[in-house]
Amino acid sequence: MNVSGLGGLNKSPHGVVVGLVQLQLPVVETPVQLAAQAERICALVGKARRNLGTMDLVVFPEYALHGLSMSTAPELMVSLDGPEVTAFKASCVAHRIWGCFSIMEFNPHGNPYNTGLIIDDQGEIRLYYRKLHPWVPVEAWEPGNVGIPVCDGPKGCKLGLIICHDGMFPEMAREAAYKGAEIILRTAGYTAPIRHAWTITNQANAFQNLAITASVCLCGSDGNFDSMGEGMFCNFDGTVITVGGNRPDEIITAELRPDLVREARAVWGVENNPYQLYHRGYVAVQGGAQDCPYTFMHDMVAGRYKLPWDGTVQVRDGTPCGFAAPSRSYRGPEPNPFEPEV
């Protein structure tokens, strides 16, 4: 099952070659540094193309542009029509490659969004995602409100994107797979204490959804934090295809086979988990039990989700990390401007 094609050197007609950039953790505290880091990312798009002529998609980690300062200073925030995204688009066109990028996006209605973009080799935004689960209580980003989109990717694959802490919630990868994602990207800025959880969730997200996961963190030190790199590809049976170490700017590559994902989803009986979730016990009853036996799902929809130990939860806002307690409510979902309405 571990078919990597020597990292994409021997590409099959059905393969999609992905590169995960273990980007050196930057220091970005001024607009000048922001501009310089955008240039550096574009240069690494070029490196990815030169590194492997068969590469279809290059993926940069969360915080690749902004570093881990967590600053929400307006002068450092980015817009979709600003110079940084314009440069990313141009680099994808110039090097004939798809790219996945991270920006902290200005939000006129509140705190900035932690936004992920997938841009195709024609310079068009194909996927736009706002991180649903900021890493509380550390991150001050506005909670995402445009859902979990999926897009058509290179060579006809289906791509999904979740960001960092999102991957700790099994519902996130399940939603991406439910919407058709065959390759689920996960970008992150995680540091070493999360190493074990990173590994097991990347594998579990793959196996539970019969999907390939491709995940990457920032790498190296900025003088305060140490990110762990560890680009990681997991096949749809949960096995690790390949994993990187902690060498900054190394590009970890693999040839992925979404056609085999489609085959498994169609022909597996045992452990065809996405299908069997809603068709449980189909050997005993016709079509299986097609109900929703999960109390937490019913309670979330009804607005009454409450843990049995809710009264003991001590951290409920960002005040332990120096943020003022918020005074406004969540605005609710809005249409994704880059996803067709269904």
Task: Please state the domain extents for the chain.
Answer: 5-276
Q: pLDDT per residue over 12-57, tens digit each?
A: 999 999 999 999 999 999 999 999 999 999 999 999 999 999 999 9
Note the pTM of the prediction, 2 decimals: 0.97
Is the confidence at residue 4, as pLDDT, over 50?
A: yes
Q: pLDDT per residue over 238-284, tens digit each?
A: 999 999 989 999 999 999 999 999 999 999 999 999 999 999 999 99
CB 126 within 8 A of CB 118: yes
Is the confidence at residue 317, as pLDDT, over 70?
A: yes
Is the confidence at residue 207, as pLDDT, over 70?
A: yes
Q: How many helices (H) and strands (E) does the chain have?
A: 8, 14
Q: pLDDT per residue over 95-142, tens digit each?
A: 999 999 999 999 999 999 999 999 999 999 999 999 999 999 999 999
- For the stretch 309-317, contacts whose Cβ atoms lie closer than 8 Å and that sit 24 or more positions apart, written own/partner, are 315/136, 315/137, 317/137
Question: What architecture is the 5-276 domain classified under in CATH?
Answer: 4-Layer Sandwich (3.60)
DSSP state of 24: B
Catalytic residues: 62, 131, 164
